[in-house]
Structure 1
Amino acid sequence: MTAGGPAAAAERESRYVGALVGRPADEVYAYASDPAHLPEWAAGLAAGVEHEDGRWFADSPMGRVELRFAPPNDLGVLDHDVVLPDGQVMSNPLRVVPAEGGSEVVFTVRRRGMSDAELERDAAAVRADLEALARIVEQRAAATA
């Protein structure tokens, strides 16, 4: 049994949201790992991302947030922390993995005190962002072919 009972277990629930991309994983990683590209595919950061004194910031629906990214790597790890205006840190696992015909981008959506409806909305928003990322990377490749 999980410590804390069923309510605590539900609080730790995660959803894995993915999108297939018809491009190699290293190509998707190269594009998605550049924070300057985030406003192009992450709707919650559409207002823009700024690099200041070696740190990344964005205006989001939650206010101005700091974005901290995993160091560059060959494993497709795009994990990032979002530091909210109140100092709370939201860790977000994100991966690009090879898949048949290209790759898959997978984001872990964590419940974090959300209702079922809020979790579904959050997962749908992430899915839309990942699908936008896939379209952009595929279109960029087609434009240079």
Structure 2
Amino acid sequence: MNTTSRHLSVHIDRPVAEVYRFASDPANLPRWAPGLGSSVVRENEYWFVETPEGRARVTFAPNNEFGVLDHEVLTPFGETVYVPLRAISDGEGCEVIFTLRRSPGMTDAEFERDAGLVNGDLALLKRVLERGDATPPDRVPRP
């Protein structure tokens, strides 16, 4: 199968280890990838995200020293979507690279829409990390 892919990236002015630590924690997904879902819960060894279509299971690659943030999303419809995602060192900062794959039957407009959503999520990841808002919600000081 020959799939069209587009690599979308953002430079984040934070160390790669910090970016990896934050982005690899499924509990943080709603803070930087709200398009995926509104809330995340862990049940046993699985993470579930509430999406507009229903509950989806998200499985990240095991912790690693290479910045691999790949994950699979098992949609509410039973489809498994593989998401290649990497954080690579770039001087004192890092680059996060998302590989967007075009699904069979996806129109040009749908592919462009998805690219826009991913770019929005990457921009939000950058803002959260560069502002220092990556503190877990239960550790954020209350006013």
TM-score higher than 0.5:
yes
C-alpha displacement at 1:84, in angstroms? 1.1
Note the residue ranges of structure 2 that are not aligned, 5 or more in a row. Answer: 136-143
Using a 3 Å threshold, how does the CA distance of structure 1 residues 142 and 79 change in structure 2: closer, same or farther?
closer
Distance 1:70 1:120 in 2: 27
- Note if contact 1:40-1:46 (Cα within 8 Å) is conserved in structure 2: no
C-alpha displacement at 1:24, in angstroms? 1.1
1:24 aligns with 2:11: no
1:89 aligns with 80
Using a 3 Å threshold, how does the CA distance of structure 1 residues 16 and 55 change in structure 2: closer, same or farther?
same
Q: Following superposition of structure 1 onto structure 2, how do residues 35-114 of structure 1 map, counting pairs within 5 Å?
A: 35-113=26-104, 114=106
Deviation beyond 6 Å, 4+ runs, structure 1: none
TM-score, length-scaled by structure 2: 0.87
Note the residue ranges of structure 1 that are not aligned, 5 or more in a row. Answer: 1-7
Aligned AA (1:133): L
TM-score, length-scaled by structure 1: 0.86
The percent of aligned pairs where both chains have the same amino acid is 46
Larger Rg: 1
Q: CA RMSD in A?
A: 1.8
SS of residue matched to 2:78: coil
Number of residue pairs the alignment of both structures matches: 134
1:68-113 CA distance string (max 9 Å, x none): 1100000000000000122210000000011145101110100002
